Structure 1
Amino acid sequence: MKLLVRKEFLAEGVVCLELRDPDGGPVPSWEPGAHVDLVLRPDLVRQYSLCGDPADRSVLRVAVLREDGGRGGSRFVHDELADGDLMEIRGPRNNFALVDAPQYLFIAGGIGITPIVPMVAAADAAGAQWRLVYGGRTRASMAFRDELCAKYGDRVSIHPQDETGLLDLGSLVDEQAEVYCCGPEPLLAAVEARCPGVHVERFAPKEITGESSGFEVELAQTGRTLTVPEDRSILDVLDEAGVPVMFSCEEGTCGTCETPVLDGVVEHRDSLLTAEEQAANDTMMICVSRCRGPRLVLDL
């Protein structure tokens, strides 16, 4: 659907987009942890976490950090998108859902606070015990800082790096709580190393290591077989062959291209599925993941 854009300054380097139906109708429903695809241009689609109130069906809110070294999405939002523009969205989808628990520890780094804001509100409304540890470069760059502190008091711990240094994760991770973490890769990797059961969401893909080799892909619904060379992805080959598949990030982080696997062993290279989900070998992200053998059979 196409929604009307209202844009406002949120923090240093961060803008908030409020997206509303131009006719005043309700926006799609969602739950904490969900994100939407913003179709900035036909060739520029980016995913952003929803950071508003799921109960408010009049508006969707996302926050976008300007990243000059990125792939162009945030620069478009900051420099070209204007109030009153109509923008297509896809979704919402939720790959970072909040599970029911009596106790939570939320850890956010920088713009990683965006999916955490509605999670904190949901945990508080449910009467759960929780705390939030929020790190950023500077106080001025930390979106939602004042709002969170004013609403929740000392359950929110603010750690600007220029004042307090890096987060002391050894003293933070609580094994009795469900731990949710979103932020830059070094933070996620450090938390994962200390808490194997942590729920994480990545804004950028994990580094891909290892060599690639070619293989065949059989499309079970048609019986068609395609060859995937070592230097191309399954998604590339399917797209070139005219096979319709949904995709967005092409980095293995958004989940749009997730495809059921019927046979063969997947070499998972995504940054989304848990270790248990990858071991199940029944689904894959065809934009980055490959085959560990000569052949895969996909439910396409």
Structure 2
Amino acid sequence: MRGESHPSRDVVVSDLSQAADGVVAVELVAADGARLPGWEPGAHAELVLPSGLIRPYSLCGDPADRETYRVGVLRVPDGRGGSAEVHSLREGRRIAIRGPRNKFPLVLANHYLFIAGGIGVTPFLPMIRAVAAAGHEWRLVYGGRSRAAMAFADELLDLGGDRVHLVPEDTDGLPDLTTALAGTPPGAAVYACGPEPLLTALEKTMSTGFSDRYLHTERFGSWHPSQQRPDKEEFKAELRRSGRVLPVPADRSLLEVIREAVPEAASSCEEGVCGSCELRVLGGTPDHRDTVLSAAERDRSDVIYPCVSRARSSVLTVDL
């Protein structure tokens, strides 16, 4: 299902509930009463909010339930407004959704370790249910600011019992990644989603002693080590179909520049996470700064996510 998408459709907020301190669980049903598109664990849907903002959120309900989608949304006070708007929704409110899309698919393995930080737990609810139903071995290490701030914790404990290890930072500190990894066999699939410090620490720990496990990550934002490179020079974007060549200054994104010529250019999160703005590259060398591509895919020259990525070549030609 990776990369698959569906057209926008209208949905209605059917239920809102408090999943934890600062976290709301939102259930959505099709406005016309039809069944919703199928999805697989790891997928997200893009909510088209009343203001026009578009934000991707992991689906954390039951993939077998084609009547209802569920997402969990943490309110971010200093964010860009999307989470605050979700928290202001009320039952009966009509919005639109796009998707589902799956950039974080569940691979087949004999043993799974899930490591969640805060609201990063959401994609793991359907994953864990699928793994448990298949009879595979699994464990979850779930860190959060406090027990009260850990969304869906009781639901996970009911599902997994002592397979679920909750680590509230205010009482227990940070998760012990080395111990968690040491409890997995070689070949285990390690799934992680959460804030950047957690993922960076996990990547470092795995590289120094657990390289025979397989890491799969999903990040909250677009941060990647490549973003530390300063942007000192502009490059040119050639839009092949329209025949236009546009300068991209160092202080502007490729997506911003493209929108001036093609206002309908697709985008969603604008943080290099969701993959909605994907463009086909026809010439030149991309400088990938997204978190959509895996480490093994970062030398690809056929695709770019222009909301955060740039060009290593003086000219980048895209299919627009």
TM-score, normalised relative to structure 1:
0.95
Aligned residue identity for 1:11:
A
Q: Report the more deviating stretch, 168-177 or 11-20.
A: 168-177
Query: Which residue of structure 2 aligns with residue 7 of structure 1?
Result: 16
Does residue 97 (structure 1) correspond to residue 97 (structure 2)? The answer is no
Alignment of 1:67-216 (within 5 A): 67-78=76-87, 80-173=88-181, 174=184, 175-195=186-206, 197-206=214-223, 208-212=227-231, 213-216=233-236
CA displacement 1:226-255 (0-9 Å, x = unmatched): 222222222111110136421011111111
Query: Which residue of structure 1 aligns with residue 281 of structure 2?
Result: 261
Q: Whole-Å Cα distance in 2 between the matches of residues 92 and 294 of structure 1?
A: 35
Q: Whole-Å Cα distance in 2 between the matches of residues 42 and 70 of structure 1?
A: 15
Q: Is residue 192–residue 216 contact of structure 2 (8 Å, CA) maintained in 1?
A: yes
Q: Is residue 273–residue 290 contact of structure 2 (8 Å, CA) maintained in 1?
A: yes
Q: Whole-Å Cα distance in 2 between the matches of residues 243 and 19 of structure 1?
A: 29
Aligned residue identity for 1:270:
D
Does residue 242 (structure 1) correspond to residue 250 (structure 2)? The answer is no
Query: Which residue of structure 2 aligns with residue 51 of structure 1?
Result: 60
Unaligned runs of 5+ in 2: 1-8, 208-213
Cα RMSD over matched residues? 1.5
Pick aligned residue for 1:34 from 39, 43, 50: 43
Identity of aligned residues (%): 52
TM-score, normalised relative to structure 2:
0.89
CA displacement 1:134-181 (0-9 Å, x = unmatched): 111111111111111112111111111122111111111244311000
Please list every run of at least 4 consecutive aligned residues from structure 1 whose deviation after the TM superposition is greater than 6 angstroms: none
CA displacement 1:50-95 (0-9 Å, x = unmatched): 00000000100000111112111111122x2111100111111111
Q: Secondary structure at the match of 2:122?
A: helix
Q: Is residue 222–residue 308 contact of structure 2 (8 Å, CA) maintained in 1?
A: no
Q: Secondary structure at the match of 2:56?
A: strand
Q: Whole-Å Cα distance in 1 between the matches of residues 150 and 245 of structure 2?
A: 50
Q: Whole-Å Cα distance in 1 between the matches of residues 96 and 146 of structure 2?
A: 33
Q: Whole-Å Cα distance in 2 between the matches of residues 229 and 69 of structure 1?
A: 27
Query: Which residue of structure 1 aligns with residue 290 of structure 2?
Result: 270
Unaligned runs of 5+ in 1: none
Q: Report the more deviating stretch, 67-76 or 113-122.
A: 67-76
Q: Is residue 191–residue 198 contact of structure 1 (8 Å, CA) maintained in 2?
A: no
